[in-house]
Amino acid sequence: MFPTATYQDRRRGLRAAMGNATVLLCGHQAVPRNYPANVFPFRQNSHVLYYCGVSRADVALVLTAGEEILFGPPEHIDDVVWHGPHETLDQAAAKAGIGTVRDIADLGDWLTSAGGDLSYLPPYQTNVLNWLSTLLRKPPADVAGGGSEPLARAICDQRSRKTDDEIAEIEDALAVTHDMHVASMRATRPGVRESEVAAVVQQVALAHDRAQSYNPIITVRGEVLHNNHYGNLLGAGQLLLNDSGAESPMFYASDITRTCPVNGTYDERQRAIYDVVLKSQLDAIAAIKPGVLYRDVHLVSAHVIAAGLISLGVMRGDPDAAVAAGAHALFFPHGVGHMLGLDVHDMEDLGDVVGYAPGEARSDQFGLSYLRLARPLESGNVVTVEPGIYFIPALIDRWRAEDQHADFIDYDAAESYKDFGGVRIEDDVLCTDSGSRVLGPVIPKTADEIEAVMAT
Ligand code: GLY
């Protein structure tokens, strides 16, 4: 855990922002896989972690103008029998500087008797929604729609600006992630199964006693953006896209993507596309500084991708006009990144509160509509920068059949890349007072650097 004062300061800030409201932050419960005693690995709700650092099931944190209470299950000897001796709830609360601990069974009555203005966050797990529905004695649909936007905004405001000790956690995670990616590059060769590379990545994380921040994407079908299947054999001439990251001891995420040639050497076509994506990523990182709209960072990437594909004959015309029209999104159909912190997509459980200013809506243009973060950057924000070029056969067919953006796309050329897959390059980047800093140890990134690692 962080020092006690860290949690006290965070809660003081939230309570000041929320005035007389009663704030309820619900922790996670153990979620059964197939019967009650066989549960998915437990991961605490990140808001609860942020405000008290308590990583155990069935707790709830209540903050009022004058009180801080941690509700949780009382100690039971069965817990020791089945799970071994552990820190008591009182001890965990004391480390977070919370003086009052109460039985979770009393929470419903406590909330009823407190009355007044209760603020909670919109639940995103059904079991938490049902729990809140019971506690608040309201139907789940009413509870789901009753989340407090002022609370979400106050929390986003605090959590978006990372402190030095949070950045140290992310960099701690990235040190393990570095090893995961280097091991993955060394394990990549023709005839190996994707699952074997995924196992190498997991081996490194587990050997460091780390969870992974999300289900890793390790695939030769990199054009499938969230591909969590590991069933393909790696073939000579293919690219392997690895999007994976470890969690830190205090549950901060890392999120890194590298794309390497299964053969150990990029062929001419692969290297040309790779270098366009690399320039797009480096230019986007260079554009980051306080006050810059993250939407504009996205557009820097999009511009480089359009210009690069024009120079390779896959697109044509003026890159600015192509990007304004959204034609590049055939090959770059996602946003350039997102906030990163305790969550890999930090605070996206709160919807677009984290990424868009009040009243600002997402674009309805294909591609840009997936941009999760558009607002001005601030010093202390940590974001991913992860442009990519993908050749998605079904999307090429669809756009061609609809004659979409035919003035900017050479469909015959695009068709010739249908076997290519995809390239994505991703780093985790801190917005500093004057610019940006790529976090963590250097993870081989240029085509030459990756080939050099694969050769050893
Ligand atoms: N790295 C996975 C994602 O950003 O969704």
pLDDT tier at 435 (50, 70, 90 boundaries)? very high
Q: What is the pTM of this model?
A: 0.96
d(Cα 149, Cα 353) in Å, to the nearest integer? 8
Ramachandran assignment for 183, one of left (phi > 0), alpha (psi -120 to 50 degrees), beta (any other): alpha
Whether the CB-CB separation of 182 and 455 falls below 8 Å is answered with no
Please give the pLDDT value at position 359. Answer: 87
Q: Which helix (H) or strand (E) holds 388?
A: strand 388-390
Which ligand 1 atom is at minimum distance from the Cα of 426? 1
Q: Distance from the CA of 301 to the center of ligand 1, in angstroms? A: 17
pLDDT tier at 166 (50, 70, 90 boundaries)? very high
Which ligand 1 atom is at minimum distance from the Cα of 344? 4
Please give the pLDDT value at position 115. Answer: 81
Residue 8 token pair: 């006290």
Rounded to a whole number of angstroms, the distance between the first and last alpha carbons of the chain is 38
Backbone angles phi, psi at 315, to 5 degrees: -120, 175
Report the pLDDT averaged over residues 432-442: 97
Q: Distance from the CA of 152 to the center of ligand 1, in angstroms? A: 22
Question: Ligand 1: which of 180, 212, 217 to mutate, judged by most atoms within 8 Å of the beta carbon?
Answer: 217
Q: What is the mean pLDDT of the chain?
A: 96
Q: Distance from the CA of 117 to the center of ligand 1, in angstroms? A: 36
d(Cα 341, Cα 373) in Å, to the nearest integer? 14
Q: Distance from the CA of 420 to the center of ligand 1, in angstroms? A: 21
Enumerate residues lining ligand 1, CB below 6 A: 214, 243, 255, 344
Q: Distance from the CA of 337 to the center of ligand 1, in angstroms? A: 8
| 347-365 pLDDT tens trace | 999 999 999 998 899 999 9
Report the pLDDT averaged over residues 70-95: 94
